[in-house]
Amino acid sequence: MRSRRQLDVASEEFNAEVARLDPLHLDADLRRLPKLNETADVDALTRVLGEALPTEERVAGFTLPECLAAMRDLGMYLGSLKRHGVVAFDVLPDAGVPFELLGRRTRLIPRDTVYHYTSWNPPGERERLYTGHAMERGLIGAVRTCVPELARALEAGRSLCAADPRRSGHDDDWACLVACLGAVDATMKRVLLGVSPEFFARELRPYFEDVRVAGRLYMGPAAAHIPLFLVDVLLWASDRGGAEYLAFCDEVAAHTLPDWRDRYAEWRASPSLASRYAEALEDSLSPDETRHVQAGARALREALRTLASFRGKHLVMARRAYQEELRLYELGSGGGSTELLDEILALTRQNHAAFGPTAAR
């Protein structure tokens, strides 16, 4: 029995290890994938996928990084075929078995995720691309940058969740969380400037359609599945989120990493930091306790401000990509609507306003 390793997307070493692997020997075929997609060569896509499917014995012999790399590469053909109206498991009835086996080995869903498509996707000439367009590379690179930042933010959040707002010692965790969110917001600004709504809506979005594996639908490797929703749940959404958004979070959580699924279950059932700090601000506190609570409340306000800034940019991009005359789909690649994004932004701003200068002074 092989030892279980952690899927550490914050580790450059782990990500690089997965990225350099080609366990199914698909490097040469994947360089031709954008051309096959351009010509909608379904027969060739089906042939390559069918020949690449690993046996049960082969999957059992893979290391964890090899399992991740194999799912990454198989997923590129799964998404490509679906984009051209073909369900891989219909034309290749035995294909579901290796997808399920790889999912079990990695404790992930039985298809590729946003982490396969970005964090574990090799940059440069070996990069796995649906279209080969520079804007696709730019989007992958942006998410590849954001995911480790969010992983660090979640580690800081883990400490904050376990801490007493009335005690000292939280400044570094708050500073880390705010800085990481700032980096994600800055990356979103570059995406807004560098990825056109026409390209995303018409060219890239069709590759992120859901597929049914073993009777259940799983969404494609959408950027919307990065763990920003988990930051929301920690900071405000667990007990201040609307029913639609929390249902969306429940669905997206199934597509994230195992440790983050556990974190989500814990934080979803706990008071948010916004509620905890709001309650602490109403308590009768000593001068030292008041100082610590107010410092945390100011940091929380800044985190919420940065979240709102990101959400505003995301909403602008989504509205452009899903305007009626341009869109091919009603819902975003992550399963949400622009109306839901509007609600998330409004709630984030509402919680930010609740910790205004007077409350956090």
User: Following DSSP, what letter does each residue of 161-201 receive, concatenated?
Assistant: HHS-TTSS--HHHHHHHHHHHHHHHHHHHHHHHHS-HHIII
pLDDT at 226: 94
Q: Three-state SS across 303-329?
A: HHHHHHHHHHHHHHHHHHHCCCCCCCC
- The candidate with the shortest Cα–Cα distance to 251, out of 243, 259, 285, 12, is 243
pLDDT at 1: 33
- The candidate with the shortest Cα–Cα distance to 359, out of 273, 301, 272, 307, is 301
Average pLDDT over residues 93-117: 97
pLDDT at 266: 97
Q: What percent of the chain has pLDDT over 70?
A: 93
Residue type, 226: I
The predicted-structure confidence for 121-141, as pLDDT tens digits, reads as follows 999 999 999 999 999 999 999
Question: What is the number of residues in the chain?
Answer: 361
Q: How confident is the model at residue 326 (pLDDT cuts 50, 70, 90)?
A: low
pLDDT at 315: 87
On whether the CB atoms of residues 274 and 355 are closer than 8 A, the answer is yes
The predicted-structure confidence for 226-253, as pLDDT tens digits, reads as follows 999 999 999 999 999 999 999 999 999 9
The predicted-structure confidence for 277-302, as pLDDT tens digits, reads as follows 999 999 888 899 999 999 999 999 99
pLDDT at 2: 41
Q: Encode burial over 196-219: b for 16+ CB neighbours within 10 A, e otherwise.
A: ebebbbebbbbbbbebebeeeebb
Q: How confident is the model at residue 329 (pLDDT cuts 50, 70, 90)?
A: low
pLDDT at 335: 58
More confident residue, 322 or 193: 193
Average pLDDT over the chain, rounded to an integer: 92
On whether the CB atoms of residues 49 and 78 are closer than 8 A, the answer is yes
Tokens 């809506």 correspond to what residue?
A: 201
The predicted-structure confidence for 349-359, as pLDDT tens digits, reads as follows 999 999 876 55
pLDDT at 334: 55
Give pTM, 2 decimals.
0.93
Looking at the chain, the number of H-run helices and the number of E-run strands are 20, 2
d(CA 360, CA 293) in angstroms, rounded, equals 8
| Two structure tokens written together for 260 | 């983050």
